[in-house]
Amino acid sequence: MKDSAVIMIPSHPKFLSVIRAVTFKMCELSDMDNSAIEDVKLAVDEACSNIIKHAYKGDTNKKIIVRFKMTCKGFEVIIDDDGLKAQPALMEGRRLDDIRPGGLGIHLIKRAFDVYAFDDKKKKGNRLRLIRNRKGKNEDRDRRL
C-alpha cells in the first residue's frame, strides 16, 4: 500500500467531482506540475465518465474502483468496473479536426498518459491501466507544445 490509494464510487456522475479531487491530491503528492495535474485529472474523469456511459449504460447503481500508485517510474491509475466489455478497437475517438459532439474523451486520456491499456485477463467487466511516465517539469511543458 505504500504510495498508493484506492477509492470506490457509485457510478453516478455526481461522484466524478470526488474522483477529480482525489486525483488532484495524488498528482500533487507525485510532484507533477500544475498543467500536468490538470491533464491527468481530466483524463481520469473522462475514463470514469466512459464507464458510466458505455460500460454501465447510464446505470448509476454500479461501482467504479480507482487505484492510484506512485512509483519511481511514474504515476499509475487502474480503473475497474463490472460493466459491459470495452472494445478498444472501436475506441479510436473522432479525428480532432472533425468537429462534432462526442469522441473527444479518448484523446484527452491519451494525451495525459503514456500507457492506455485494457487488461485482457479480467473476465467480468473491465480493468483499464493508465501510466504516466515520470518526467521533468520541462518535459511536461514540452509535451504540451
Partner 1 sequence: MKIEIGDYKGLTVIALSGEIDMYSSPELREEMMTLIKQKISPVFVNLKDVTYIDSSGIATFVEGLKIMMRYSGSLKFISIPEGIMEIFNFSKLDKVFEIYRNIDDALGN
> Judged by CB under 8 A, does residue 105 bind partner 1?
yes
Give min distance, CB of 16 to partner 1, in A. Answer: 5
Give residues 49-78 in contact with partner 1 (rule: CB under 8 A). 49, 52-53
For the beta sheet containing 115-118, the strands, ordered from the edge strand earlier in sequence to the opposite edge, are 4-10, 63-70, 74-81, 126-133, 115-118
Binding residue (CB under 8 A) for partner 1 from 9, 16, 64, 131: 16
Residues whose CB is less than 8 angstroms from the CB of residue 33 and which lie 6 or more positions away in sequence, other chains included: 137, 140, 141
Dump strand ranges (E) for 21-62: none
For partner 1, give the closer residue by CB, 35 or 71. Answer: 35
Stretches 64-72, 82-90, 99-107, 128-136: which one binds partner 1 (CB under 8 A)?
99-107
Stretches 8-16, 25-33, 115-123, 126-134: which one binds partner 1 (CB under 8 A)?
8-16
> Judged by CB under 8 A, does residue 136 bind partner 1?
no
Residues whose CB is less than 8 angstroms from the CB of residue 2 and which lie 6 or more positions away in sequence, other chains included: none
> Judged by CB under 8 A, does residue 145 bind partner 1?
no
Residues whose CB is less than 8 angstroms from the CB of residue 76 and which lie 6 or more positions away in sequence, other chains included: 67, 68, 69, 70, 129, 130, 131, 132
For partner 1, give the closer residue by CB, 73 or 111. Answer: 111
Rg of the chain (C-alpha set): 15
Q: Which three cell numbers stand for residue 74?
A: 511514474
Residues that bind partner 1 (CB under 8 A): 12-14, 16-17, 20, 35, 38, 42, 45-46, 49, 52-53, 96-97, 99-102, 104-105, 107-108, 111, 144
